[in-house]
Chains A and B, each alone.
Chain A
Amino acid sequence: MAPLLEVADLRTEFRTARGVIRAVDDVCWDVMPGETVALVGESGCGKSVSALSVMRLVAEPAGRIVGGRILFKGRDLLALSEEEMQQVRGREIGMVFQEPMTSLNPVLTIGRQLTEAMEIHLGMASAESRARALELLDTVGIPDPERRLAQYPHQFSGGMRQRMMIAMALSCRPALILADEPTTALDVTIQAQILELLKGLSRRFGVAMLIITHNLGVVARYADRVNVMYAARIVERGKAADLYAHPRHPYTIGLLRSVPRLDAPRRAKLLPIPGQPPDLGRLPPGCAFAPRCDHAVERCWTTAPPLDDVGAGHRSACWVARSLSARVPA
């Protein structure tokens, strides 16, 4: 089966007062039809810029995609005109962002925002788009849809706004939804509702999902495959089950160790990753994680390791990946 989305050798840069910063550095990943893939990492690792690059929404002129290919259903999105790209955004690829209030128009009714895309992209007449809007609100679990369609975003709670974003993302029956920190701004009980909803809809409609998050728990519950990003690169990739059971990159191991877990006996001390997250403007010549790594050897300081195969579909960008026996203590 061919991937639905294939990102190859993607490089995205930002010009800043301090020089050019490479926010996404030679990154490859893909999403198969119907699959849920996660991009995990901490702030500034390049996960959100990766998604924005796919949608060609990197803010120019400071930001620029300087290399690579983004093949969606076999077509290179980077070669499309802006008009053609508009047909992809919202129609073929839906988007759900962290803060729905900033992506909804405050002066348009919920109904209008929902029907507009369907009228533009699918050429629906207003009666038809309204009927579909009602159906969508029901699908995403917004009660009393008739009344809700006439309301404005500020009349919705945070959880309801996120449901509304999901309804909008689904409206044109996309093949892929990009969800960038979809539940980070929500309370834990609402987060559970929204994630269950997204996963349910993805199964029901066969929509593939790319979830971008820093939350390792969310990834464990919902992702089929995981890409771990650090300092603009992917440092580990694998099936979620493999990656969590046998992490093969010191950064992943460190992350999994550092979070307290509700299901494990309480430890006397947490085991943090030492040091600070990297400054993308001042990366060391070798592996960006070397300054914080317990396993670093001489080579790590001079040459960045490639994302190499370490076993059935599992890849790690680490010179000592094969000798890492470190298990995540339960």
Chain B
Amino acid sequence: MSEPLVAPAAPGRTARSGEVVLAVRNLVKHFEVGGGLFGGARGVVKAVDGVSFEIRRGETLGLVGESGCGKTTAGRCILQLERPTSGEVVFEGRNLTALAESELRAVRRRIQVIFQDPYSSLNPRMTVGDMLAEPLAVHGIVPDARARAERVQELLAHVGLPGSMARRYAHQLSGGQRQRVGIARALACEPSLIVCDEPVSALDVSIQAQIINLLEDLQERLGLTYLFVAHDLSVVRHISGRVAVMYLGKIVEITDRDSLYDAPQHPYTKALLSAVPIPDPAIEAKRERTVLAGEVPSPLKPPSGCVFHSRCPLAIDECRRTVPELREVQPAHRAACIRL
């Protein structure tokens, strides 16, 4: 490899010491639904409702929650694929929500995304080589065609694919190979932040570990920062330095990985962890589990007060009235629950 793809990581890239790459402040994204041609009740879905967090350089923040909790929408707002209703997305010191489309272009290069389903995110008519060369040309990263071909080979090597893959089409690849191409394409733009949106959940179990190891290697080598959006709590624990748990558009708990998994505070986090089956019958037989009653309420009609009160084993009357703020319940461990 001739030169590093991105600037080397800042010294001491541990979670706490790096500079803040991304700061999300009070992010809100509401969607209006209903009305229009087919009628239906008008309403507002509060997909993301006042979310704040920071990610430091070289760190991985896991964003977990069940479908409809707003984790993917939050990721899309950060990428500016959705324009937030309000709030700030400050990336490398610039508030993206205040930028015009034309100004966003340069920034977008620095924030890339890896999607869940690499099949639908790759162009079926382009060879892998062309797909990787495209961003290099479009963004003027490597203007010379011969140098571009070399960089494509380098990118393939980065993600553990043989150079001959450049001549293949997406349909000729396995799921794991496609996801590697998706990662190579994100790397082509020399990003500092990558939003990984369920990057392994569509892959076979035996391939998931390969891709997770690859993401970790690349982070180490290239000093990348990840927002890792996923529903699989075991995978999130493995890859994340800090973790935020979302429920109905809000963060209910956020702290470093070990505090969250060893000493979860919020009753929703506890229930989520308890619901994950452990691949060991001996342990499963002995395990106490809290099976949450009911289902996630419609985001069109979220419960009053604490959005989790309708399923919470600890809920009291007060929880119906008071919206709990995300506050420090232990040092560097925040949770949104008045019962803590």
Contact = CB atoms under 8 A, between A and B. Distances in A.
Same complex for A and B? Answer yes
Contact of B296 (A187, A216, A276): A187
Interface residues of A, number: 46
Contact of A189 (B237, B271, B282): B271
Given A187-B231, A196-B291, A258 B209 contact: yes
A220 B174 contact: no
B204 A43 contact: yes
Given A159-B295, A262-B237, A277 B206 contact: yes
A123 interface: no
B276 A262 contact: yes
Interface in B166-183: 174, 176-177
B66 A188 contact: yes
A220 B281 contact: yes
Interface string A235-264: 000001100110000000011101111110
A241 B274 CA distance: 21
Contacts of B209: 258-260, 270-273
A256 B279 contact: yes
Contacts of A216: 205, 279
A122 to B, nearest CB: 31
B277 A189 contact: no
Which has the most chain B C-beta neighbours within 10 Å: A43, A196, A241, A272?
A272
A192 B291 contact: yes
Interface string B231-243: 1011101100000
Contacts of A188: 66, 231, 233, 272, 275-276
B205 A244 contact: no
Contacts of B280: 220, 244, 261, 263
Contacts of A187: 66-67, 231, 296
B212 interface: yes
A103 interface: no
Given A220-B277, A269-B213, A261 B204 contact: no
Contacts of A254: 206
Nearest to B177: A276
Contacts of A217: 276-279, 284
Contacts of B130: none
B119 interface: no
A214 B234 contact: no
A218 interface: yes
Interface in A262-285: 262-263, 266-267, 269-274, 276-277
A261 B282 contact: no
Which has the most chain B C-beta neighbours within 10 Å: A188, A215, A221, A261?
A188
B234 A259 contact: yes
A262 B206 contact: no
B238 A266 contact: yes
A16 interface: no
A139 B228 CA distance: 39
Contacts of A266: 237-238, 257
B207 A277 contact: yes
B216 interface: yes
A159 B206 CA distance: 28
Given A190-B295, A196-B291, A261-B279, A255 B207 contact: no
Interface in A187-241: 187-193, 195-196, 214-221, 240-241
A124 B59 CA distance: 63
Interface in B278-300: 278-284, 289, 291-292, 295-296
Which 3 pairs between the two chains have the least Cβ-Cβ distance?
Answer: A217-B277, A272-B209, A187-B66
23 contacts: A188-B272, A189-B292, A193-B291, A196-B291, A218-B277, A220-B279, A240-B281, A244-B279, A259-B205, A259-B209, A259-B279, A260-B235, A261-B280, A263-B283, A266-B257, A270-B238, A271-B209, A273-B206, A273-B209, A273-B210, A274-B210, A276-B207, A292-B206
Interface of B: 66-67, 174, 176-177, 204-210, 212-213, 216, 231, 233-235, 237-238, 257, 261, 271-284, 289, 291-292, 295-296
Given A190-B66, A276-B177, 8 more contacts: A160-B295, A187-B67, A192-B289, A244-B280, A255-B206, A258-B208, A261-B278, A272-B207
